[in-house]
RNA sequence: GCCGAUGUAGCUCAGCCGGUAGAGCAACUGAUUCGUAAUCAGUAGGUCCGCGGUUCGAAUCCGCGCAUCGGCUCCA
């Protein structure tokens, strides 16, 4: 009896049961077969060679789609696992999924894999690919699969099967040649369909991502349908290395990290400190404009306060402590405590709310050595932190205003971002009702502004749920910067109150929020975003003055003076070097403007700006140049 | 914190099987006074990450520690 198959374009064909999807697709559109790696049968991804059993819809998955790419990479990971087991005796396989930029497979092996091993594995993979072995799917009973892997000593697979929900009666196995893996699939039809791949590096990874478990060896690789796409991806990796803020930070003389000073501590050089000052000045201005008050708190506060706040019980491992005259003091990892003390300094009326306390607050957090990374992850950093105390009724407007603030800031710096809502973690304080209220408030504000978001279960702060803004840089990498946290717990613990219109005392709600997050991290992201070529308004040096010969120095000094007086950040290179040499150095430093001063300029009382893109502006007076710079700085260019 | 790799001049890197350290760029000095990405010549520069061990002798081999890099866990 024939069955009816519907394709995405609406066309229907009649097929005999047992016909493969491949054949059906071939009859529908012969051209599609070559680029198809699998298909969705009634919306469920399955192998291209799967026989049809009943009527339904088929949607081919192209190797050029995101889903197809993921299937390809997953298949490559199986081939890699086979190659590894071929080459090395006693390797156990764990898991090997496709990931955003490629794939990995985790192995348990007594020896360690070296970069040379990766080459050997790649060669063996090419042999397997040349064999063009089909990926064969087999559905077996759960117990049979367990026996199968137990006999082969594949204890990780046995554990995976044991942990399946009880109602799962059977699992699927995929084999290519002699290698069989527990796998949901689908896979590409055969090992001949592998596109272009490359193994990249080997790293440690805990079994099931739990640090209490055994550490396995993870081999990372990437794969693409074509060699060209692989080459382009490798070029992007190279580009990322070229933009690395640690490298540019040294080359542009922005900051250093110093072994003698200690890990995770940044020393800002004049240009880095200037860049930071520009950003911080912008922050102060923006916050005052938006109704925040600037405050400043101490770096250390008595231990009892940290006990009261819950930090001592829930955040102690991340804190540093010191002792003064037998009194325990905690070095602040967050800025909220002092802000609450400011709130408590007098009786507050509902008419005073909301209050918004802003501080460029420098905090210290103990980070494990292995996580430190340039400016992105450090032990001392400064947050553009604020705490807003408001009535429950004001909560929505305040959260919305912060989200708008984030949107405005990200626009100025040229970033896209994604939003996540993180809910209550296991280790936390406060009542269930308060957590529910806080989470709802955050969600409603996002929904009210039609901001799309994803839920990140159990990832909130210990005192409240949070909205995280993950900023995306030009290379598509994501960074956590802005965050809004809704907190009913700390106002309770510190007994913060306001007098309501009814004359009674009420509890305010506290919002913790940062816009750029850590200034250090944000600068790191900015360096990579702009590849060190900062826009004019941020550039520590906006204009570099270059003399052609020594006789132009007096006029050069005059110009330099005028620029400084006008607030233009200028530097001089009046050395006795050829112009081309000075320009090369200025260009390497990515200076927005180089102002050339020679006979023509001295005579006409002008300067000739050379832009970073290599083009010259027409000669103009210093005054006109200053106006030009000011206009562009005002537009945040 | 865990797994792995790495650590030589300011930077990038070479240095074989253990025999006492080298290049390019940068720096400094001199000459050159020059118009849009590198003028020429010379000089100087090293705790070979640190400590200990093996050895007649260690940058090189071994151990411990520190730091960095790539990941994992964690996170702004």
Strand B–CB A344 distance below 7 A:
no
Using the structure, give the distance in angstroms from the CA atom of A261 to the C1' atom of B59, rounded to a whole number. Answer: 26
Report d(CA A631, CA A627) in Å as an integer: 6
Map tokens 């199968």 to a residue.
A148
Q: Which ipTM value was assigned to this complex?
A: 0.93
Angle, alpha carbons A230-A236-A237 (nearest 5°):
90
Q: Which of residues 549-588 of A touch strand B (CB under 7 A)?
A: 549-551, 576-581, 583-584, 587-588
| pLDDT attached to residue A14 | 85
The first and second tokens of residue A379, run together, are 């032990």
The first and second tokens of residue A182, run together, are 């527990």
Residues A530 and A243 sit within 8 Å (Cβ to Cβ): no
The first and second tokens of residue A91, run together, are 């390797």
Half-sphere exposure of A165 (CA within 13 A, CB side): 2
Q: Which residues contact A333 (CB under 8 A, 6 or more apart)?
A: A311, A315, A318, A319, A363, A364, A365
For domain A256-297+333-529, give the fold.
Answer: BirA Bifunctional Protein; domain 2 (3.30.930)
Q: What does A1-33 look like in DSSP terms, one character per residue? A: --EEEE-TTS-EEEE-TT-BHHHHHHHH-GGGG
Strand B–CB A371 distance below 7 A:
yes
Mean pLDDT by 10 residues, chain A (637 residues): 84 85 85 86 89 87 92 95 92 93 92 85 92 92 94 94 90 91 90 89 91 92 93 87 91 91 93 96 97 97 95 93 95 97 97 97 94 94 97 94 96 93 90 92 94 92 92 82 93 96 96 96 94 96 96 96 97 93 95 96 96 94 97 96
Q: Which of residues 373-392 of A touch strand B (CB under 7 A)?
A: 373-374, 376-379, 381, 383
Q: Kind and range of the H or E element at A148?
A: helix A142-151
Strand B–CB A101 distance below 7 A:
no
The structural domains of chain A, with segments of one domain joined by +, span: 3-62, 67-243, 256-297+333-529, 543-634
The first and second tokens of residue A244, run together, are 């690395």
Using the structure, give the distance in angstroms from the CA atom of A590 to the C1' atom of B43, rounded to a whole number. Answer: 31
Report d(CA A26, CA A515) in Å as an integer: 54
Report d(CA A461, CA A475) in Å as an integer: 29
Residues A163 and A107 sit within 8 Å (Cβ to Cβ): no
| pLDDT attached to residue A15 | 83
Residues A412 and A515 sit within 8 Å (Cβ to Cβ): no
Q: Which residues contact A4 (CB under 8 A, 6 or more apart)?
A: A12, A13, A14, A15, A55
Which residue, A237, A192, A227, is CA-closest to A76?
Answer: A192
CB burial string A150-168: b at 16+ within 10 A, e below: eeeebebbbebbeeeeeee
The first and second tokens of residue A93, run together, are 């396989």
- The 3-state DSSP class for residue A569 equals coil
Using the structure, give the distance in angstroms from the CA atom of A171 to the C1' atom of B75, rounded to a whole number. Answer: 37
Strand B–CB A279 distance below 7 A:
no
- A3-62: CATH architecture: Roll (3.10)
Catalytic residues of A: 336, 365, 383, 385, 387, 466, 512
Using the structure, give the distance in angstroms from the CA atom of A342 to the C1' atom of B17, rounded to a whole number. Answer: 72
Strand B–CB A608 distance below 7 A:
yes
- The 3-state DSSP class for residue A303 equals helix
Residues A330 and A321 sit within 8 Å (Cβ to Cβ): yes
Report d(CA A340, CA A322) in Å as an integer: 22
Report d(CA A140, CA A596) in Å as an integer: 77
The dihedrals phi and psi of A592, each to the nearest 5 degrees, come to -60, -45
Strand B–CB A521 distance below 7 A:
yes
Which residue, A188, A194, A189, A192, is CA-closest to A224?
Answer: A194
Q: Kind and range of the H or E element at A506?
A: strand A505-506
Element counts in chain A: helices (H) and strands (E): 19, 32
| pLDDT attached to residue A4 | 85
Chain B bases under 7 Å from protein CB? 1-5, 11, 31-39, 66-76
| pLDDT attached to residue A55 | 86
Question: Does domain A543-634 match CATH 3.40.190.10?
Answer: no
Strand B–CB A213 distance below 7 A:
no
For domain A67-243, give the fold.
Answer: 3.30.980
For the whole model, what pTM was predicted? 0.91
Report d(CA A500, CA A194) in Å as an integer: 69
The dihedrals phi and psi of A343, each to the nearest 5 degrees, come to -60, -40
Q: Which residues contact A428 (CB under 8 A, 6 or more apart)?
A: A314, A435, A460, A462, A463
């Amino acid at each position: 009896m024939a069955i009816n198959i519907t394709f995405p374009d609406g066309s229907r064909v009649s097929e005999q049961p047992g016909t493969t999807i491949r054949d059906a697709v071939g009859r529908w559109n012969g051209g599609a077969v070559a680029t198809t790696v699998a298909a969705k049968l009634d919306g469920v991804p399955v192998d291209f060679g799967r026989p049809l059993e009943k009527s339904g819809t088929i949607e081919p998955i192209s190797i050029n789609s995101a889903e197809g790419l993921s299937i390809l990479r997953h298949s490559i990971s199986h081939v890699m696992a086979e190659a590894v087991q071929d080459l090395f005796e006693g390797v156990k396989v764990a898991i090997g999924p496709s990931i955003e930029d490629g794939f990995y497979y985790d192995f348990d092996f007594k020896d360690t894999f070296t970069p040379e091993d990766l080459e050997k594995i790649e060669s063996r993979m090419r042999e397997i690919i040349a064999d063009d072995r089909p990926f064969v799917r087999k559905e077996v009973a759960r117990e049979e699969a367990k026996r199968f892997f137990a006999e082969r000593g594949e204890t990780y697979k046995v554990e995976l099967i044991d942990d399946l929900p009880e109602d799962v009666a059977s699992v699927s196995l995929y084999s290519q040649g002699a290698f069989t893996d527990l796998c949901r699939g689908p896979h590409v039809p055969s090992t001949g369909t592998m596109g272009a791949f490359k193994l990249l590096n080997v790293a440690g990874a805990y079994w099931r991502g739990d640090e209490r478990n055994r550490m396995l060896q993870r081999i990372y690789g990437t794969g693409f349908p074509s060699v060209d796409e692989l080459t382009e991806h490798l070029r992007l990796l190279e580009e990322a290395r070229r933009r690395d803020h640690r490298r540019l930070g040294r080359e542009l003389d922005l900051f250093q990290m110093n072994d003698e000073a200690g890990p995770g501590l940044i020393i800002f050089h004049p240009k880095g400190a200037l860049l930071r000052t520009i950003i911080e000045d912008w922050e102060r201005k923006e916050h005052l404009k938006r109704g925040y008050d600037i405050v400043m708190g101490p770096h250390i506060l008595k231990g009892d306060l940290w006990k009261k706040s819950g930090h001592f019980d829930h955040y102690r491992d991340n804190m540093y402590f010191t002792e003064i005259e037998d009194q325990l003091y905690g070095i602040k990892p967050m800025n909220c405590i002092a802000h609450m003390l400011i709130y408590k300094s007098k009786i507050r009326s509902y008419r005073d709310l909301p209050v918004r306390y802003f501080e460029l607050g420098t905090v210290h957090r103990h980070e494990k050595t292995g996580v430190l990374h340039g400016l992105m992850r450090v032990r001392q950093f400064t947050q553009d932190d604020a705490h807003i105390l408001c009535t429950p009724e004001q909560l929505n407007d305040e959260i919305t205003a912060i989200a708008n603030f984030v949107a405005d800031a990200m626009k100025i710096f040229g970033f896209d971002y994604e939003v996540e809502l993180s809910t209550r973690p296991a280790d936390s304080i406060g009542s269930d009702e308060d957590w529910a209220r806080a989470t709802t408030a955050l969600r409603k504000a996002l929904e009210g502004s039609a901001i799309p978001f994803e839920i990140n279960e159990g990832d909130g702060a210990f005192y409240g749920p949070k909205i995280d803004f993950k900023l995306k840089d030009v290379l598509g990498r994501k960074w956590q910067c802005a965050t809004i946290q809704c907190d009913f717990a700390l106002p309770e613990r510190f007994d913060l109150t306001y007098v309501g219109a009814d004359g009674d005392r009420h509890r305010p709600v506290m919002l913790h929020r940062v816009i750029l997050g850590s200034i250090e991290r944000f600068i790191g992201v900015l360096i990579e975003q702009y590849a060190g070529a900062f826009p004019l308004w941020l550039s520590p040096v906006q204009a570099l003055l270059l003399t052609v010969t020594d006789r132009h120095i007096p006029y050069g000094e005059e110009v330099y003076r005028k620029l400084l007086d006008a607030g233009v950040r200028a530097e001089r290179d009046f050395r006795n070097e050829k112009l081309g040499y000075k320009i090369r150095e200025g260009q390497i430093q990515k200076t927005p403007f180089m102002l050339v001063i020679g006979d023509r300029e001295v005579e006409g009382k002008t300067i000739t700006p050379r832009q970073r893109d290599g083009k010259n502006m027409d000669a103009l007076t210093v005054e006109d140049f200053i106006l030009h710079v000011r206009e562009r700085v005002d537009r945040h260019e």
